[in-house]
Structure 1
């Protein structure tokens, strides 16, 4: 439904106003003062069904309380070498902002290996980035722009996507399910770039399984996507892998690699978490193991998508040329 239903929002707020502590407190960390926008996100996620949206939000709040999500930004991943390993194998970063003020998150889908730490560290890292985005970045950019900005855009780099991705499907499904159930409608648009043939083949079978509102968010761009992305952001906000002509070995490219632990975004995030840990009276973070979060059962749509991708990838196991770039003319869905 594209039309905002004021009655649905009012009814939803009336129900949420009745939730008791500690759900009420954690809800403040969710909406950050942008109550209406938050209610709309959950309503969109449940096709504007107030009862279903209410159930979804209450379950989200309980998940936050049960897993102490409100305190996750004071739980650094230590030692720093382990955090570097996580960053080197879970490629995600923020490269800048669109001209409308939305944060631009870059994700290295094809080259992420998730093989240098336990699954719990990767989940912890992902949730920390979500919480830092929602509780620090978005409120700050909203204040700067004088209007609510509660979503971001994501640029997905498919460079290097191979059959090895098969071993990562379970972890990716866990992370995407956490997002679906607890951070719904936080991504305005997904831009897919550097797509090899194997992605094109998988996208063809996955696309029909997605809900219409999700399909409309996904844009598969030709090549590195530079020309299209420059229509919505300045060059300085382009993820490094979208800067055609840049040498991977150049100092300039390395300095703007938004996946790197040395990038300003990751430095700011890590220092923020470390500072909040230290305010609890601790001088230096001590290794205490990962921050374990309960993994929700994947929704039926995610299960079907994962099975479909696995099936398709298995069919390619004996094929050659899986990393061949997709023809630009075939890049659009």
Structure 2
């Protein structure tokens, strides 16, 4: 295999305003800091094609690179994927939903389906945990709706992109774009499997279609008897790069899992030593909660700017006094983050 030569990432000042490292930790072609001249040109080509169709959001280099990698640097296929994603975002009103999203039924849903980010693995990536054995969609839909569950998943993907991954990148000193995922299959028997895997297939589609290149490692733990046979069939259909990221483990998973996740970062029920006050599942602990590494997300800055320049008066909404008098509005005034839901 030819040696991969480091290269400076060509940034576009119109779209690239990163305040975190932008070089991948491992030399991999197609990743930031290791692009060929052709791949860098394909980034420019994709951006120009999207601009020509009127797109102005999410055209930064790292985002375009993720879509290009997801389609093996086929620019036309990458463009189609990006356009379909933007259509979905518009249909779901996602950009307006993220800053204001609340999920008060979260704790009740967690009784059936805990899903949360919790600290980092040894590579500095966010650890994302799902426990699938308690899923009971009939009971869960009495608490919430399928639509709200999917919306919450999308919101948490947005919050993974910003502020979680940028905070992890700052702390690690290199670019981090993926997660270490633990999916616990304990309790997923034959009777429950169709319901569980039907839901997982639905949410996996959202991940693959709209949030590409976010999987770093996936550990399937407590895999039931017979699952390995099924897995051997499934992995024959998958990209070899994806297969290398997935590890199917039975009940004796702790040793291999602890090789990737420090014991102090892994919740005690999975063989670690972490016991967060109030429970790890609801703590949302990680660098994104540490003042030294976190910064306001772009969607938070947008919301803060809107709050600073608009005031309500009886009978009308008008611009704030500073803007009315021609003074510069107080943009990005507050460095305050409302607690993000732990689920994803």
Q: Same fold (TM over 0.5)?
A: yes
Q: What pairs up with 1:1-333 in 2 under 5 angstroms?
A: 3-4=29-30, 5-20=36-51, 23-25=55-57, 27=58, 35=61, 37-78=62-103, 80=104, 82-114=105-137, 115-116=139-140, 117-162=144-189, 163-243=191-271, 255=277, 257-259=279-281, 261=282, 264=285
Contact 1:42/1:56 (8 A) holds in 2: yes
- The structure that has the greater radius of gyration is 2
**Structure 1 length as normaliser, TM-score?**
0.67
Measure, in 2, the Cα distance between the counterparts of 1:263 and 1:256.
11
Q: Which is richer in helix?
A: 1
Q: Residue 93 and residue 124 in structure 1: after superposition, are their counterparts in 2 closer, same or farther (change >3 A)?
A: same
| Offset of residue 256 of structure 1 | 7.5
Higher relative contact order (CA 8 A, sep 6+): 1
Structure 1, gaps ≥5 residues long: 247-251, 283-333
Residue in 2 that maps onto 1:289: none
| Offset of residue 190 of structure 1 | 0.6
Measure, in 2, the Cα distance between the counterparts of 1:192 and 1:173.
15
Contact 1:224/1:242 (8 A) holds in 2: no
Q: Residue 239 and residue 48 in structure 1: after superposition, are their counterparts in 2 closer, same or farther (change >3 A)?
A: farther
Deviations 1:179-201 (A, max 9, x none): 11111110111112122214334
Q: Residue 198 and residue 257 in structure 1: after superposition, are their counterparts in 2 closer, same or farther (change >3 A)?
A: farther
Structure 2, gaps ≥5 residues long: 2-27, 31-35, 290-296, 312-344
RMSD over aligned Cα atoms: 3.4
Measure, in 2, the Cα distance between the counterparts of 1:113 and 1:257.
22
The SS at the match of 2:86 is helix
Measure, in 1, the Cα distance between the counterparts of 2:39 and 2:80.
14
Q: Residue 44 and residue 194 in structure 1: after superposition, are their counterparts in 2 closer, same or farther (change >3 A)?
A: same
Deviations 1:223-277 (A, max 9, x none): 3522122223311112443217x8xxxxx85857433x35557xx7xxx999998
